[in-house]
Amino acid sequence: MLKRIWKARSGYLFILPKFVFFTVFVLVPIIWSFFVSFQEYRIFGTEWVGLRNFRDALQDDLFWMAVSNTLRYAVVVTPCSVAIALILASLIHPLRPGAQTFFRAAFYLPTVASSVVISMVWRWIFQTRYGLANYFLSLVGIEPINWLHSSAWALRSVIIMAVLTPPGVGVILYLAAMGSIPESLYEAARIDGANRLMQWWKITVPLVKPTTLYLLIVSTIGSFQVFDQVMMMTQGGPGYATTTIVHRIYNVAFRDFEFGYAGAMSMLLFAAVIVLALIQSKLVSSDAEYKG
């Protein structure tokens, strides 16, 4: 074992910096949160309380409100973002290589921008008096909507922003998956009389299932971790209408300094994401493998 590691030492050296950052900023905090969740953690001392933090979290009405808001967000944003990425990639794939490169860059570049900056732009778009959204509504005679300060529209506004943000990563991954599908399958379908829509539905969609599964899992995790958009656009309001799980954890930890309680909610979120990922894996998994 050690001999094999030494033989591949150059590869391990390349991944060492990334592994160190992962350990320090991801793995260690997860392990620390797990142990803290069983304590009443204070800056100048701790007390072991067992499962009390978990019990308090499950009896917290604000936590369940945050769960409800997060679920509503995830149920809409996750399938929409994956479906939009699949449709866009399907439209781009038949184009010439130069055009494909242009659209790849066009859809991927917005993902490089900070989510905080994007949220600030959308906050201006949803501004009640001078925002772009209400301006367009006024052109068709619709009264202005109080997008971010109405409990009925605040969460919908955050969802609209997430859905309309270009799914650059999804488009890139779908284009790579479509490029590996053998052209002979489409030729056989054309000979059998299948039109382009039937080819897409019967060949493309089934053969990109592994990519769809990956994007569903990643999008679900991202939806359950939504925080930046809520913090910048609504700060969880009005009246907790947009408070999500991560926003609730943030407030409990860094506003109320109840780190043990926040750690317990983090562990509940961690467990929920794992369960959802396993369920999605069972529902969407595909045994098909194709070599280009």
Tens-digit pLDDT profile for residues 226-283: 999 999 999 998 889 999 999 999 999 998 889 999 999 999 999 999 998 888 878 7
For the chain, which residues make up each domain, given as ranges? 61-116+150-284
Q: Which residues contact 15 (CB under 8 A, 6 or more apart)?
A: none
pLDDT of residue 60 exceeding 60, the answer is yes
Contacts 24+ apart (CB under 8 A), 240-244: 240/62, 240/65, 240/66, 241/69, 241/151, 241/154, 241/155, 242/69, 242/154, 242/155, 242/158, 243/62, 243/65, 243/66, 243/69, 244/66, 244/69, 244/70, 244/73
Average pLDDT, stretch 93-105? Answer: 91
Q: HSE (CB half, 13 Å, CA atoms) of 267? A: 20
User: How far does Cα 217 stand from its chain's mean position?
Assistant: 8
- Full-model pTM: 0.89
- Assign a CATH topology to domain 61-116+150-284: MetI-like fold (1.10.3720)
Rounded distance between C-alpha atoms, residue 273 and residue 283, angstroms: 15
Which residue intervals of 126-208 are DSSP H helices? 132-139, 154-164, 168-179, 183-191, 196-199, 205-207
